[in-house]
Amino acid sequence: MARLQLVFKPSDFPPSDYPGTPDASTRQAVQDLFNHMFPGNANPEIPGKSAAFATVARDPKLAMRLIQLSDYIVREMPWTSQQKAVKELAVQTLNVHFKCHFSFQSHMRGAEAAGISMEQQACIPFWKTANVFDDEQRLVIEYTFAVCSGEVSDELFKRVVKQYGEQGALEFTMAISWWSLWAMIINATGTEHDFGYGKKKSA
């Protein structure tokens, strides 16, 4: 169960434990946030699978800045927008590192659609011996684990630069940092959602 009261739609704000009364600029920030996320939608609501955004929406000004940064990282930054398969592999790897089951499940279908099979996702903890990854994928997994643990060697970073160039290495590192931020927020706040995995199909 989530440890905070979440803001899935404008009417959820302010949460019951909000300190004081929101001023006009804060209430406007709530409207601006949902208008940005759901343009033209008269009844905007953050879906459960994106509940991490409903967590940060408790602070609409912070949430807006995070979402604007997310827009750039996901849609415009070259490494993430042009390397969708390995981007998803990096995200699932950091989710394994942080034991973020919510985020791992939320990315499973997207990763599969991008070209990272369910088998590959399941084999991430065993990447050193599993025979389901190519050389680039192994490098992505190795570097992601290294960045998350704070143990990036000169030799490893040089291999990443050789593969993606200096700018690509920076953007790759930024991507790891960005989705790690969300994994940590999700884990700390107890964000949950039933993604339906593991349920038996009706006969």
60-112: per-residue pLDDT in tens? 999 999 999 999 999 999 999 999 999 999 999 999 999 999 999 999 999 99
Spatial distance between the Cα atoms of 56 and 53, rounded to a whole number of angstroms:
5
Percentage of residues of the chain with pLDDT beyond 90: 89
3-class SS at 128?
Answer: coil
The length of the chain is 203
Q: Tokens 């200096």 sit at which residue?
A: 166
Tokens of 139: 């490098």
User: What is the chain's alpha carbon radius of gyration, rounded to the nearest angstrom?
Assistant: 19
Spatial distance between the Cα atoms of 130 and 136, rounded to a whole number of angstroms:
14
Q: What is the pTM of this model?
A: 0.91
pLDDT digits (tens, 9 = 90+) for 9-57: 999 999 998 988 999 999 999 999 999 999 999 999 999 999 999 999 9
pLDDT digits (tens, 9 = 90+) for 160-201: 999 999 999 999 999 999 999 999 999 999 988 888 765 555
pLDDT of residue 202: 47
> What phi-psi label fits residue 100: left (phi over 0), alpha (psi between -120 and 50 degrees) or beta?
beta
